[in-house]
Amino acid sequence: MSKFKKEGSGGAPAMNTASLPDIVFMLLFFFMVATTSKETDPTVEFESPTGTKTMDLTPYKQRSEIDFLYLGTPRNPNRANAFKMGFALSLDNVVQATADGLYPTNAVGRWKKDKFSQKPARMSAPIEAVITCLKADKNAPSGLIFDIRKELQEIEALTIAYSVRDKGNI
Amino acid sequence: MAKRDIPEINAGSMADIAFLLLLFFLVTTTMDKDQAYIRSIPKKIDLPPMDNKVQERDILAIKANNQNQLMVRNSIFRDPDKISDFILKFYQTNEKNNDVANNFPMYSTTSLSLCDQNMALLENQLEEAEQKGATDQAKFFQSSYEEWNKKKRAIQLYGKSEIRELSVQAHIRIEVQQGTAYSIFAQIHNEIEEALFELRDKECNRLFSEQYSILKRRTAQDSDPKDKDKLALLEILYPARIIEVTPKN
């Protein structure tokens, strides 16, 4: 005399996952809006110094009026002494020695000119206005920075941006 | 024929697809913004340097050596945060009244009529240069004409017939050595930017009762000519004249 019906298979009922895609899509849209695409993974290691009252470069990035170059220590520390003052320059992931003997002196100029000629036709800014953003390690010597600056001056790419990490934005 | 039900599409894998997209965006994007100080590099010209001496009072030299020690106008600064206060002093000391006794740059008065005079003069010179076919000269006159025009518009926006302007030769000079760390170099730019921001923000609040940072962000996103004029006025009142001296070997 079983008054209570035994449950057939037992276990918890299946959870309704119909709204799972909605939740994931929400996350997806958040990340699409809140982030910007990575430029490149630079082939040198660097840690930017901090600063305040900086200029946000995102609007320039969206108009692709900006080129990045990186100045840092090589990934392999044993290679450091192959470079002038131990710092290497990364132009589009190609590591350039900053030593005068190892690289043609106008490498930065040629790289920048090359980048400029490859810009899409809709971008009308003259080369003077195309920003070159220099991301340098906090211990990088200023001498190298002025070397780069001089090469940019030679080809009349006259806008430079010194990259820092904003203190209020960490 | 019997009516057949349309079979339901199984949406169970929708979540997987969405996750896939999400992961793709997580991997290829970064959260951190690119922040920087934008500076312009002077254009290289072949003319020999002019021989007019800049008065000592117009120069604010900020020096840093290979040991990363800082010096402003021949006095050593142990705390780099104090530099911005000194820059404020450089701009503000003679802002209201000129005093010859102190060693800070003078202010001069620029009036609307002076702008008009100079613009008329430059227009004539421009025409002459164009007739002679001296394009370089014409370009120079053109740019100075535009500069005076900008100044005129700024004075009109200022609401008075004249404006107090910092001496044209007054500038901040950054002198670093070969081995000075980039962090020190960036810190100097930071201090300059801080001082300029404070000055412009104060004036922006007084004139347009809004914050300078908001005005600047708005102009970066969409350029309303009115906002551009406001920024131009603030930049004329407190110009950022920075010279970066190439270190000697």
Mean pLDDT of chain A: 80
Q: Determine the Cα–Cα distance for residues B43 and A22; give it in Å rounded to an integer.
A: 55
Q: What residues of chain A lie within 8 A of the CB of B36, using their CB?
A: 54-55, 57, 133, 161-164
**Maximum mean pLDDT: which of A100-104, A121-125, B76-80:** B76-80
Neighbours of B51 (CB within 10 A): 5
Q: Which of residues 115-134 of A touch B (CB under 8 A)?
A: 131, 133
Neighbours of B242 (CB within 10 A): 19
- Classify residue A132 as exposed, middle or buried by CB count within 10 Å of its CB (0-12, 13-18, 19+): buried
pLDDT at residue B223, as a whole number? 73
pLDDT at residue A94, as a whole number? 77
Q: Determine the Cα–Cα distance for residues A69 and A59; give it in Å rounded to an integer.
A: 18
Measuring CA to CA, how many Å separate B59 from each of B54, B97, B161, B190?
Answer: 8, 19, 29, 19
Min Cα separation A2/chain B (Å): 39
Q: Which of residues 10-69 of A touch B (CB under 8 A)?
A: 17-18, 20-21, 24-25, 27-28, 31-32, 34-38, 49, 51-59, 61
Q: Is the pLDDT of residue A100 over 60?
A: no
Question: Cβ contact (<8 Å) for A159 and B39?
Answer: yes
Residue-range domain boundaries for chain A: 44-169
Cβ within 8 Å of residue A47, ≥6 positions away: A137, A138
Tell whether B246 lies on the interface with A, counting CB pairs under 8 A.
yes
Q: Contacts by A57-60 with C-beta closer than 8 Å and gap 24+?
A: A57/A131, A57/A133, A57/A161, A57/B33, A57/B34, A57/B35, A57/B36, A58/B33, A58/B34, A59/B220, A59/B221, A60/A131
Tell me the two tokens of residue B16.
């997987």
Residue-range domain boundaries for chain B: 56-245
The residue-averaged pLDDT of A125-144 equals: 88
Min Cα separation B57/chain A (Å): 27
- Residue A170 pLDDT grade (very low, low, confident, very high; cuts 50, 70, 90): very low
pLDDT, tens only, A144-153:
888 889 888 8
Measuring CA to CA, how many Å separate B207 from each of B210, B227, B231?
Answer: 8, 13, 12
Nearest CA in chain A to B219: A59
Question: Cβ contact (<8 Å) for B177 and A51?
Answer: no
Per residue of chain B (249 residues), give pLDDT as tens: 566 788 887 877 888 888 899 898 888 887 777 889 999 998 887 777 777 788 888 889 999 989 989 999 888 888 888 898 999 988 888 888 888 888 888 888 888 888 888 888 888 888 888 888 777 778 888 888 888 888 888 888 888 888 888 888 889 999 999 889 999 999 999 999 999 999 999 999 998 898 998 888 888 777 788 888 888 889 888 999 999 998 887
pLDDT at residue B196, as a whole number? 92
Residue with tokens 């690289």: A103
Question: Cβ contact (<8 Å) for A156 and B43?
Answer: yes
Q: Determine the Cα–Cα distance for residues A92 and B106; give it in Å rounded to an integer.
A: 47
**Given 3-state DSSP classes, what are the helix, strand and coil percentages for chain B, each rounded to the nearest 5?**
50, 15, 35
The residue-averaged pLDDT of A64-84 equals: 80
Q: Tell me which residue in A36, A61, A162 faces B189 most closely, judged by beta carbons.
A: A162
What sign does the dihedral B152-B157-B159-B162 (CA atoms) show? negative
Q: Determine the Cα–Cα distance for residues A50 and B190; give it in Å rounded to an integer.
A: 9
Tell whether B220 lies on the interface with A, counting CB pairs under 8 A.
yes
Question: Cβ contact (<8 Å) for A28 and B18?
Answer: yes
